[in-house]
Amino acid sequence: MRIGNIKRALALLTFGVISLTLNAQSVVLDDFEDIKGWELLKSEAFEGSISLEPGKTGNAIRLDYDFTKGMGFGGIQKWFPLNIPDNYEFTFWIKAESPANTLEIKFIDESGDNVWWVNKRNYEFPTEWTQVRIRNRHVTFAWGPTQDRVLRRADRIEFTVASFVGGKGTIWIDDLRFEKLPPRPETYPQPNVRASSSRRFHSADLVLDGNENTSWQSRNAKNQHLLLDFGTRREIGGIHIDWLKNHHASKFSVSTSNDALTWHKSQMIIGNLTDASFVRMPETEARYLRVDLLEGSSPRSFVIESISILDIKESQTVSDFLIYKARHAPAGPSTCMY
């Protein structure tokens, strides 16, 4: 039996259950407690090696590469037989000491001829452990003879670094996971809105009523917040805030959470002087969104007339976000954070 067929057979024995258990919340494809099954692939000008080192949790795989002798590519590949549902997510943790070369994550069928990928050209590798999320919208067909360009089956997963600026570096990868997701809804339910304080007849829920003649008003103009509970985890492209004239927050932040206990600060806006604020939050998913209003232009209160949640597609690129802003910005200046 050929070596490639033996490896494939072992992978099927080890991971064949994955296709049968995709209803689980998340499947650990590899925790990298060892590097068994990972192969080093490289072009002629690539010099590299793989090893095991302490990772985000437990161990991680380490890839050292060197392009100093010329352009090229190299990476690691392993068999993972997977039936791919319509909506899914791959995640992994990465950190690096590397110049901005190209990172490619490839999904390859059994034949090896058909390849789908996520191609991050001139990638600014994070220097601290960072989780990367790959959704079906990020994966595109790269090459191959198949006429079906949708990823429905992957037998191998590959992480490749290709020369963009050259040089040499080190990349660590940990905790590779796969999750089947429910179908993305066409619409989401109206969020529940709470505020740190509200004046009479100006409750927090009025920021979502679609009426430009109503508004939420806080009882004072320092250290207030609005909390939106979406009822479920959802994708968020950003937020658009319309303030009552001369009652905007000059300093505010936007944070997200999945449990309302641990918060991730997405943006901090300082020196806002306008009555319309557009905050880009690409590739964000959360159940809760909180706007912390820290300093105000009015000594009496913050006043928000409306808050709109951007769809993920409206901020997928900076151009998408600027198109949204151009369509929705009132006449005059507005704050734009991206």
Residue 337 or 280, more confident:
280
Strand residue runs (E) in 110-248: 115-120, 130-135, 140-143, 153-162, 168-180, 192-195, 216-217, 222-243
* Residue 316's pLDDT band (cuts 50, 70, 90): confident
Q: If you average pLDDT over every residue of the chain, what do you get? A: 90
* Residue 289 structure tokens: 């969104």
Closest among 230, 315, 305 to 267, alpha carbons compared: 315
**Does residue 41 register a pLDDT over 90?**
yes
Average the pLDDT over 71-93 and give the result: 95
pLDDT for the residue 69: 80
Amino acid symbol at 65: Y
pLDDT for the residue 129: 96
* Residue 337's pLDDT band (cuts 50, 70, 90): confident
**Does residue 46 register a pLDDT over 80?**
yes
Sheet arrangement for strand 140-143: 39-42, 73-83, 153-162, 102-108, 115-120, 140-143
The string over 299-321, giving b where at least 16 C-beta atoms fall within 10 Å of a residue's C-beta and e elsewhere, is eebbbbbbbbbbebebbbeeebb
* Distance from C-alpha of 29 to C-alpha of 33, rounded to nearest angstrom: 12
pLDDT for the residue 331: 77
* Distance from C-alpha of 320 to C-alpha of 241, rounded to nearest angstrom: 18
* Residue 231 structure tokens: 């009822």
Residue 182 in contact with residue 211, Cβ under 8 Å? no
**Does residue 333 register a pLDDT over 80?**
no
Half-sphere exposure of 161 (CA within 13 A, CB side): 31
The label of the residue with tokens 């407690």 reads: 33
- Model-level pTM greater than 0.85? no
pLDDT for the residue 45: 82
pLDDT for the residue 283: 85
pLDDT for the residue 25: 66
213 contacts: CB under 8 Å, gap ≥ 6 = none
pLDDT for the residue 334: 72
Domains along the chain with CATH numbers: 3-180 (2.60.120.430), 192-337 (2.60.120.260)
